[in-house]
Structure 1
């Protein structure tokens, strides 16, 4: 019994707040759309009185302009296709304008303070997405309603799945940021007829759902100051790079390290050329993967692609050096003497290894008897005379191959370190 009383009291309160009934709304709709003969093809004017007007007076109305104030509520970034340079978003606009043909005196209709009218039954600005990717269509749907107040203010919330074009800058992939414009325009009207003024809220993110691949970092909006009636909403997206760091960047860096390790493998093992070619093919596979992720344009080049290209060039160089080393390994000094170029490589590698320092007599030699020490010095002196750096008879082709391995290992290591540090440092810091 108590529950029934509470229910009746609640219904009474609700009826008291609403005041008007369905009959009142029906009478108002009949007055506006039948008696007054509302025409949804006639643009409203802001300079006329905000009261209901009879059909006899409509012939004297001079239409000047209507004002729409759009704000955007972004619900989600559904997809960003870098290949086709298309941004797919979901959201709705908040657009408000005043239509004096839809105004009424509330007291004449039992204080009716609002109407819900199908959007296609009234005049509305033909706001459309200007930079659309596929089809050029209007906003909203026929089953959506607008809200009309007694003063003639019309509020429209058109929901839309938007597919807009967005120029992609892939320079810093996968640490890139993208700026995408979503441009709305009143297609049929000039700014003097329909003035689109950006609202105070701009892009609202209260209902935004995060995207797994992109992070929304900033939003902006601006009006077009030319004769065109348009508003641009700009969103800034930052790519979430964790997936690419783990699955692309780290394997590529590890392959670059393995590329250098080719010079640690001796020629006698018989696997040096095969190992270097395998690393080169692995880098080529990753270069193909990166190319498939990026748009096919020539305006900008990804630093990641530059890095992979440099590593592929280094790998090609290493393969050539390995093949030369294999060729040198079958030579003999009796048939093919070592020329000055290879002698210079041996000398340079010995200097880098500080071989002269290693030839100094160690302190432990003090315990050797004098006669024995003198004999050792004499033998060593004779060996040094025979093994003078630059002598054609002092070295064989195995020494040449070892010198090449030593020099090019450190040269490749330095090149890889500089490329990795510089390119990825620039990419991370944009």
Structure 2
């Protein structure tokens, strides 16, 4: 038992004694810095290669943390995140065994060479990556790792065809501005766009991401983010009210002409649709190349509403006519017959409308009506013509509205 305790104590002292001897101090780090920047006279103006005919190989990954804003009208994307850039600096190498095991240094980014990477498609201002207070990680083999965090505002072409069921594809293109492909090559990393720290957005979902590099003439890496809009807000606040207004638009033909409110009702629905078209227009970018399907649908509904208003005014005009002054022509009689046929009703007016060619026809017609009550009761009048038109127009416009709405949803669903 005593021998075992002695062995344990010896091992304990040996391990901790070695650790104590091998402990790194601030002076060891200072010695490494003195070697690199004083003895070796490190110069950040020189590309970090002994053979200056080669290009510096830089691996780039992008950590996306959030989508701050996507502005449809300005066609801009505002994101936050940081790049992961790594390269080998052959002038920042040392032997850790000579400096008590110092293997890693953290240096201010302005103290060593950097590739001068910046956003190629900025929306407002052109700025370099990182800040003066950021440090880079450098190991003894010369591997430099840089993680500059930034809020990126980039341009993004917007396709509003399927708004609000649209998908947008935005690119963040990073380029080494100060160097050509001969001096610096940017290579996409193995992970591309990394979403481990991403916070979901209330308006957009990330559908997919990708990355590709361009090393022909200029050296750049492009990160592509495909966004899918969440349409719930627009469906509840725009699409459903517009469809309901379109249905109300049709019921102008169900309102009797005698009420005197039909024209004002139709005009009110027309103005409501015009207001919704204005709201949708404010949400969309000013773009003449691509037109939103929703805007086309609203325009079609407003066109139908305009036609309904004109028809209502025409029917009010027809309802004030009398058969004696304005005989019913063949076209209106055809409309009347079709309406009766569709309603599965038989005509009860077998007597044709009288022709008013003679001067005393009005008196004769009046006398005939007095002696023939059935003729007066079942004679085709302009009010009956208007009622027949209402019946046909109601179903015609209902069918048109249904077809247009169905086409809208089918197109959006296919997208």
Relative to structure 1, is the Cα distance of residues 402 and 18 closer, same or farther in structure 2, using a 3 angstrom cutoff? farther
Match of 1:422 among 378, 401, 407: 407
**Aligned-pair RMSD on alpha carbons?**
1.9
Q: Does 1:306 align with 2:291?
A: no
Tell me which residue corresponds to 1:41: 45
| Distance in 2 (alpha carbons) for counterparts of 1:351 and 1:385 | 15
Q: CA deviation at 1:63?
A: 4.8
Tell me which residue corresponds to 2:59: 69
Relative to structure 1, is the Cα distance of residues 16 and 237 closer, same or farther in structure 2, using a 3 angstrom cutoff? farther
| Distance in 2 (alpha carbons) for counterparts of 1:420 and 1:226 | 49
Q: CA deviation at 1:225?
A: 4.3
**Structure 2 length normalisation: TM-score?**
0.88
| Distance in 1 (alpha carbons) for counterparts of 2:391 and 2:22 | 90
Unaligned runs of 5+ in 1: 1-8, 49-60, 360-382
Tell me which residue corresponds to 2:263: 273
Match of 1:181 among 171, 187, 192: 171
Partner SS state of residue 137, structure 1: coil
Q: How does 1:1-20 map to 2 (within 5 A)?
A: 19-20=23-24
Match of 1:330 among 298, 320, 326: 320
Partner SS state of residue 189, structure 1: coil
- The answer on whether the counterparts of 2:186 and 2:215 sit within 8 Å (CA) in structure 1 is no
| Distance in 2 (alpha carbons) for counterparts of 1:17 and 1:197 | 42
Q: CA deviation at 1:341?
A: 1.9
Moved more, 230-239 or 34-43: 34-43
**Structure 1 length normalisation: TM-score?**
0.85
Q: How does 1:24-423 map to 2 (within 5 A)?
A: 24-45=28-49, 48=50, 62-356=52-346, 385-386=350-351, 394-423=379-408
Q: CA deviation at 1:192?
A: 2.1
**Count of residues in correspondence between the two structures:** 378
Q: CA deviation at 1:343?
A: 1.4
Tell me which residue corresponds to 1:54: none
| Distance in 2 (alpha carbons) for counterparts of 1:73 and 1:62 | 31
- The answer on whether the counterparts of 2:349 and 2:380 sit within 8 Å (CA) in structure 1 is no
| Distance in 1 (alpha carbons) for counterparts of 2:171 and 2:354 | 71
Relative to structure 1, is the Cα distance of residues 105 and 421 closer, same or farther in structure 2, using a 3 angstrom cutoff? same
